[in-house]
Structure 1
Amino acid sequence: MAIGKRPQLIAFTEKDHLMKTRKKIADTGNIDKSYLQYADLYRAVHRGNLTATKDFLDYQPEAVSKAITNKGQTALHIAVATGHAHIVRELVSRMSTEDLGIEDGDGYTALITALVYERSKLALYLYPLTSLNHDDLVLVEKRRQGAMLLNRAISSRNLDLALHLIRLYPSLTHALDDRGESPLLALASMRNAFPSGNRLVFWKQWIYNCICIHPSALGTTIETRLNTPNVESGNQSAPATFETRLNIPNVENGRQRNQVITRIKSVTAVLLRHLISVVLYLWAGLIVASLYYTPILLAAIVKAIVQLYAMKKLHKQSQKLLSFMCEEISTSFIQTGQLENIGGVCDAITLAIKNGISEFVLKVARTHPSFLENKYRNSRNILMLAVLYRQSEIFSHIYHGFDMENTLTSYGDCNDDNILHMVGMIEDSTMRNQISGAALQMQRELQWFKLVERIVNSKIKESTNKNGLTPRQLFTKNHENMREKGEKWMKGIASSSIVVAALVVTITFTIVFTIPGGYNQTTGFPIFYKKGKFKIFIVLDTMSLFLSSTSVLKFLEVLTTRYTEEDFLEVLLKKMILGFSTLMLSFLTLMIAFFCALDVMLGDERYIPGSSYVYISIPVIYFIRTQFCILRNMIKSTYSRDIFNRKMKLGFN
């Protein structure tokens, strides 16, 4: 029966599809399709074919200002978006100033399109040719276009143009673009445009500090130089000199003196021979390495300098741009006496705190003290937002840099949550995402709670929000999932590590009964017990047994702990640190003991080349290296100085 209905179903489906198609054609019948006649021009511009573009425009000159796509884009929009500079120059030469200001369906001019597609050179080329002037951009109906231009310049990191615009039209600081965003908000969304958004390794930080960008050159031509310390000839310290002495006993007997001299000569000859061979090997290795690695190293250094120069230029420009905006905000506040979200500053401060841009927050906060007490998202002040997003640097600067500790810590938000409740909340935070391991994240959360608990009074500690929860109850409720993940993380590492430690215990214990060379059947002493390396072997094996046994016990303690909240603060991490440290040391001593055993058994017969020792060490080195990363993070998080009380440089003076 189903088979008999199938032709009817197919016929119905085809009929329905045909009706939908006819309806779609009827709906689109009234759409302007005049752009279709410029399809050849679109293809020529999109492909960068200058000859075909010229031929088409020579035949139809009016096409240069016509929309050639269904989105209302002109040929100039397409040329800018595709980055064909030679096409752009040709089109500009055929267009009037008014034509350059034509907007597409999204309200974008060719200049704004260049910024959206990050065509910085084309944007700088088009900007002087546009009809923008001071009288236009200060008008209310034109400020939206000016804000669009400024925001796109900031978002595309074309801060040369942004600085030029903000110098000429400072009132654009308060303007909103087509998306309702202010230039301050656009700048606050660029975390990497400020030094706090970039963490450099020590050698890159040194190069970064050596690059000098003169403030007057920002936005035009920038000169850089590497600053090396000026060392005057009078202040130069003399190179260190090393004096080596060989103490020879005063031998009265001539024969003894000759024997000593002979021994010294033989030892010196051996040392010189080894020294010469080592020097030759090193020299040959350096020559080969220099021929191969020097160009690569120089190229890497030059590339790093170029990148760091561009980074520092961006940082200086963003700070200068922020300074101009803050001056305009201060002026507007003095004139109007109103603070309520001037130029979207409240939204910008909230976003800057979330992104951890301390320079931005501190600069705006110094513009006027009212910004510190102002209520931002959900009626929370700056200090509360810094705690909510776990931004320790911003918290330290605000708390220690302004004399408003008691005022800022006593606020409550719209839900009666105080600053200690903020620690109990879990928001998306850039700082929390940088911490690897759920246990370390839980430890950092507890450190935050202890910190804020120390700076508030007892009334705030016991106060409840609208849900009837105290800060501690809210913390426990919201961090239960994190505590469980931390428990699984700790138990997983401890379980795998205890197996390795137990294996080392077994090996070191067994070695005692199977020592190298065996035992003397008469005396029962080991055959090689008089050799110094054998004694070293016994000592190292004993140390490895002690260390691995300690590691097993510590990991066993970790597995049997109750895993309460307070345990994550120090107890668990200290046990893990001790367990990891003893495990790695036991591996190291076991490997050295193995080398000593080989030397004892082989004696002067070197059947195994020296490179074999290196190959044997690779697995152990790899194991220690992988485990050391976890150990380093634990030590840094547990034993380092209080991360909230470090002495940090202020972003602005």
Structure 2
Amino acid sequence: MEENRRELCKAVSGQKWDEVAELYRNDPQIQAMKITKSEDTALHVAISLGAPEDKVVNLVHEIEQTNVNDVEAAKKTLGAQNEQQDTPLHYAASRGSPSICKRILQVHEDLACKPNKEGETALFLAALNGRKRTFLYLHSVCRKMGLSSPWWRRNNGDTILHCTIQREYFDLALEIIHLYADHQKIASVRNNNGVTPLHVLASIPSAFKSVTPMSLWDKLRYSYISVEMLTIETKEHHVVDVGNSVLLKADDDPTLGHQSQGSIRRMKEKHVWSGQIMEKLLQQTSEYEYSQDESSGDKQNRKGEASKKDKKSTALLMATKNGLIEVVKRILEVYPVAIYDKTDPKKRNIVLLSVEKRQTHVFKSLMKHPLWHNLRGAVDMDGNNVLHMASFLLQHMPRQIHGSVMQMQYEALWFQYVKESMPDYMSYQENKEGDTPDEIFAKEHKDLLKESNEWIKDTSGSYAIVSALIVSVTYATSYTVPGGTNETGKPNLRGQLAFDIFVFSILVSFCSSITSLAAFVAVFSSRKQPVDYLRSLPLKLCFGLTTFYLSVVSMLVSFCAAHFFELDQRIMKHKISPYALALVPLCLYTYEQIPLYWNLLRTTLVKEPQPRYVGDNVTM
């Protein structure tokens, strides 16, 4: 027995499946033998390592044939569970092989409803891993057996619809909604935390266009890509026919997607299909419906579920938090009463939440709502109004915001933006702690303001020193004329192009450097209060950086023009001018400073603060 066990382990390690089949045939007792630390049998390992389907089917055949007179022994072998209580059928479903699943179930049909330690059946794992063909086959088996709800739900309450949406298998999710629409109401089922499939969809920002960052080029490509809507493969009362042959077509790897079609196409497919799933879920959800026919026990369960739902927030508030404007608008269209949803335990409505999470586009959309005047006047359990929420410091910045100065600018801009949309009395309204919005803003941003001021002082001071150095150099250079002067004091090289370029570039360098020096001194000596970060300080800093860059460029040009007269003309005949070396320090400076300059200028000139994209943030 021990020798056969070693031979079995050796054959499995070498993935010699014909030898494993021979050992199965010669010694049936080793068929259910555990050979790994996770208590897998050889059949478990063969399926998990991706052995050819015909080889695995052959192993199942050997188990059946060697126990032809003892069916229970064959069922025991095929139903062997590992440490996680997974059977070979669980592994076959995860792998996406309807052929292996069908062959196992021909011997032991009851395995279709056997759960593992997490309460997951083979059908559940097929859905969890996006194995559409395998799922449809296993569903047809479970439907014929007349099994009840446990086969599509695991211990934590998650259903197959929760999992397929969370992993973005939208095509399979649509099939599940169709198959379970009438008798199971799977779209409204909550897990143990009170989360519905719609909640799950609302927590995936990348599934919607409004919060997916794209470059201008990507947006152009995106607009010209055509994506077809998902279709249902199953008919009204039966699943697609999987055939009578044992060897069925295996599932493709769902993680591969449409690799040849490009990332932009995959992105648009995700956006279109998620919108399609959202529509189906909204048609079937019963979150805002009231039933007079439910029993007292049902009401008690509903009350408990509602408690968990509040802690997790409603789908509308989840979408608001993540900035999914498409979901927010559609929920409010289908269920207008959802506008009264509030978080627990703070009791913040949709306006308070959108301001707290810095979702500009959601906030703008709510300003057009008929109940806007009522919504904006709400306060939470702590007495905080909308301006109070805008005054709290945000720990996660939008992706365009980098550094303490830009964060301070963004915070001041957001507070000012919200303040302009609110009545004046809110600025003086106190919360339960007796603090006004301005007082909270000052407390919350005290450290950030200090850090920003230090950066402004250090940066402007450093640039001012370099600008002063350029001023002194260009001033001295202006009296050092290349080629000297004649008796009348006029330059000997006057009239030559290189000399004219030298004179003009020296003038530009001197004027721009002294302007840059004045700008940086103005920044250094400013008050540096939060209101100054709205426009004044950033614009002065951008102006100073612009003139400083111009002074550096013109200084390099003046040097090249002056040096031209001293360089051997034979060297200038080469295709590559030696003056190209002067571009190296300029390119290095440009590469390091342009991103900061552009982001600072863009956030200064925009009329509205950028929304916060969840999942694409910079933690400060």
Q: Relative to 1, partners in 2 of residues 1:119 and 1:56: Cα closer, same or farther, differing over 3 Å?
A: farther
Distance 2:366 2:431 in 1: 25
- Asked whether the equivalents of residues 47 and 91 of structure 2 are also in contact (C-alpha less than 8 Å), the reply is yes
Distance 1:64 1:391 in 2: 56
Distance 1:143 1:113 in 2: 10
Q: Hey, what does 1:44 align to over in structure 2? A: 46
Q: Which moved more, 1:419-428 or 1:157-166?
A: 419-428
Equivalent in 513, 538, 544 of residue 479 of structure 2: 513
The C-alpha deviation readout for 1:224-269, integer Å capped at 9, x for no partner, is xxxxxxxxxxxxxxxxxxxxxxxxxxxxxxxxxxxxxxxxxxxxxx
Q: Which entry has the higher C-alpha Rg, 1 or 2?
A: 1
Pairwise mapping of residues 124-523 of structure 1 onto structure 2 (< 5 A)?
Answer: 124=135, 126-132=137-143, 147-170=158-181, 171-177=185-191, 180-215=194-229, 217-218=230-231, 305-329=261-285, 333=289, 344=309, 346-377=313-344, 378-400=346-368, 402-429=369-396, 431-520=397-486, 522-523=487-488
Which structure has the highest helix share of the two?
1
The C-alpha deviation readout for 1:269-316, integer Å capped at 9, x for no partner, is xxxxxxxxxxxxxxxxxxxxxxxxxxxxxxxxx968432222212111
Is 1:109 aligned to 2:121, yes or no? yes
Q: Hey, what does 2:616 align to over in structure 1? A: none
Q: Hey, what does 2:252 align to over in structure 1? A: none
Look up the SS of the partner of 1:333 in the other structure.
Answer: coil
Q: Hey, what does 1:284 align to over in structure 2? A: none
Q: TM-score, normalised by structure 2?
A: 0.76
- Asked whether the equivalents of residues 161 and 219 of structure 1 are also in contact (C-alpha less than 8 Å), the reply is no
Q: Relative to 1, partners in 2 of residues 1:621 and 1:180: Cα closer, same or farther, differing over 3 Å?
A: same
Q: Hey, what does 2:83 align to over in structure 1? A: 70
Aligned-pair CA distance for 1:354:
2.2
**Aligned AA for 2:388?**
H
Aligned-pair CA distance for 1:107:
0.7
Q: Relative to 1, partners in 2 of residues 1:326 and 1:46: Cα closer, same or farther, differing over 3 Å?
A: closer
- Asked whether the equivalents of residues 207 and 305 of structure 1 are also in contact (C-alpha less than 8 Å), the reply is no
Look up the SS of the partner of 1:131 in the other structure.
Answer: helix
Q: Relative to 1, partners in 2 of residues 1:336 and 1:306: Cα closer, same or farther, differing over 3 Å?
A: farther
Aligned-pair CA distance for 1:386:
0.5
Q: Relative to 1, partners in 2 of residues 1:360 and 1:304: Cα closer, same or farther, differing over 3 Å?
A: farther
Distance 1:184 1:442 in 2: 36
Look up the SS of the partner of 2:115 in the other structure.
Answer: coil
Cα-Cα RMSD: 3.5
Aligned-pair CA distance for 1:550:
1.6
- Asked whether the equivalents of residues 115 and 151 of structure 2 are also in contact (C-alpha less than 8 Å), the reply is no
Aligned-pair CA distance for 1:328:
2.6
**Aligned AA for 1:195?**
K
**Aligned AA for 2:534?**
L
Distance 2:232 2:395 in 1: 35
Distance 1:95 1:483 in 2: 72
Q: Hey, what does 2:248 align to over in structure 1? A: none
Distance 1:571 1:420 in 2: 23
**Aligned AA for 1:107?**
G
Q: Hey, what does 1:616 align to over in structure 2? A: 582
Q: Relative to 1, partners in 2 of residues 1:428 and 1:642: Cα closer, same or farther, differing over 3 Å?
A: closer
Distance 1:317 1:147 in 2: 21
Q: Relative to 1, partners in 2 of residues 1:142 and 1:606: Cα closer, same or farther, differing over 3 Å?
A: closer
- Asked whether the equivalents of residues 97 and 131 of structure 1 are also in contact (C-alpha less than 8 Å), the reply is no
Aligned-pair CA distance for 1:143:
6.8
Distance 1:428 1:80 in 2: 43
- Asked whether the equivalents of residues 502 and 549 of structure 1 are also in contact (C-alpha less than 8 Å), the reply is yes
Identity %: 24
The C-alpha deviation readout for 1:24-58, integer Å capped at 9, x for no partner, is xxxxxxxxx99678633333333334547447634
- Asked whether the equivalents of residues 33 and 41 of structure 2 are also in contact (C-alpha less than 8 Å), the reply is no
Q: Relative to 1, partners in 2 of residues 1:421 and 1:530: Cα closer, same or farther, differing over 3 Å?
A: same
Aligned-pair CA distance for 1:94:
4.0
- Asked whether the equivalents of residues 501 and 561 of structure 2 are also in contact (C-alpha less than 8 Å), the reply is yes
The C-alpha deviation readout for 1:151-189, integer Å capped at 9, x for no partner, is 111111111111122234342222123554210121112
Look up the SS of the partner of 2:384 in the other structure.
Answer: coil
Aligned-pair CA distance for 1:334:
6.9
Q: Relative to 1, partners in 2 of residues 1:106 and 1:161: Cα closer, same or farther, differing over 3 Å?
A: same
Is 1:588 aligned to 2:553, yes or no? yes
Distance 2:220 2:320 in 1: 27
**Aligned AA for 1:61?**
A
- Asked whether the equivalents of residues 195 and 315 of structure 1 are also in contact (C-alpha less than 8 Å), the reply is yes
Unaligned runs of 5+ in 2: 1-31, 67-72, 235-257, 294-298, 612-620
Distance 1:98 1:458 in 2: 70
Q: Relative to 1, partners in 2 of residues 1:92 and 1:319: Cα closer, same or farther, differing over 3 Å?
A: farther
Equivalent in 63, 75, 87 of residue 57 of structure 1: 63
Q: Which moved more, 1:174-183 or 1:306-315?
A: 174-183
Distance 2:389 2:592 in 1: 36
Aligned-pair CA distance for 1:464:
0.9
Aligned-pair CA distance for 1:538:
0.8
Q: Which moved more, 1:352-361 or 1:537-546?
A: 352-361
- Asked whether the equivalents of residues 80 and 119 of structure 1 are also in contact (C-alpha less than 8 Å), the reply is no
Distance 1:335 1:133 in 2: 31
Aligned-pair CA distance for 1:96:
4.9
Q: Relative to 1, partners in 2 of residues 1:365 and 1:140: Cα closer, same or farther, differing over 3 Å?
A: farther
Q: Relative to 1, partners in 2 of residues 1:504 and 1:219: Cα closer, same or farther, differing over 3 Å?
A: farther
Aligned-pair CA distance for 1:190:
1.1
- Asked whether the equivalents of residues 387 and 427 of structure 2 are also in contact (C-alpha less than 8 Å), the reply is yes
Q: Hey, what does 2:534 align to over in structure 1? A: 569
Aligned-pair CA distance for 1:581:
0.7
Unaligned runs of 5+ in 1: 1-32, 222-301, 646-653
Look up the SS of the partner of 1:380 in the other structure.
Answer: coil
Q: Relative to 1, partners in 2 of residues 1:148 and 1:596: Cα closer, same or farther, differing over 3 Å?
A: same
Q: Relative to 1, partners in 2 of residues 1:107 and 1:150: Cα closer, same or farther, differing over 3 Å?
A: same
